[in-house]
Amino acid sequence: MYNKVIMIGNLTRNIDLKYLPSSGMALAVMGLASNRRFKKQDGSQGEEVCFIDVKLFGRAAEVANQYLRKGSKVLIEGRLHLETWSDQNGDKKSKHIIMAESMKMLDGKSDSDSNDNATVVDNNNQVSKTQNNTQTNPVNMEITDTISITDEELPF
């Protein structure tokens, strides 16, 4: 099976950084909100917002905690995971989260940096600076509702 999620959004709160007691590995939990605008049948504009929690591990968690704040724009790649637990009354609860495999910071670090620069952190704890080219990077291109997929691109 294939489980891959790519989401661009803004942080809904500051990063919650913890260190796992068993391994000492860093764990960052953040809230991500992604907006989608669309045209309703009556012609008016509609908008829906998707809120989801994201978990980052290792060096990526520490970098996120150092540079990201509420409102920061990020691109997250990872996998969808169903988290389950029991509340204080013993009722079973669950929610989907994204277990991040890589993160790309889309905001500049300071006013002197342009928004054409981004920092990428992957699950191998490799940090790299990239320079976006608006003609080749789909992140900077306008996103439309139509997607063109050929039969060769389908995994089945």
1-41 pLDDT, tens digit each: 899 999 999 999 999 999 999 999 999 999 999 999 989 88
Q: Please report the pLDDT score of residue 88 as a whole number.
A: 92
Average pLDDT over residues 99-103: 93
**pTM surpassing 0.85?**
no
The pLDDT value given to residue 78: 95
Q: What is the pLDDT of residues 107-154, one digit of tens each?
A: 865 444 444 455 566 655 555 555 544 333 333 333 334 445 556 655
Domain-wise residue ranges, the chain: 5-153
Quickly tell me which residue has 């509340």 as its tokens. Answer: 87
What's the CATH code, domain 5-153? 2.40.50.140
Nearest-10 Cα torsion for 84, 85, 86, 87: -110
Which residues, at least 6 apart from 122, have a Cβ–Cβ distance to it below 8 Å?
60, 101, 102, 103
- Look at phi and psi of residue 24 and say left if phi exceeds 0, alpha if psi is from -120 to 50, else beta: left
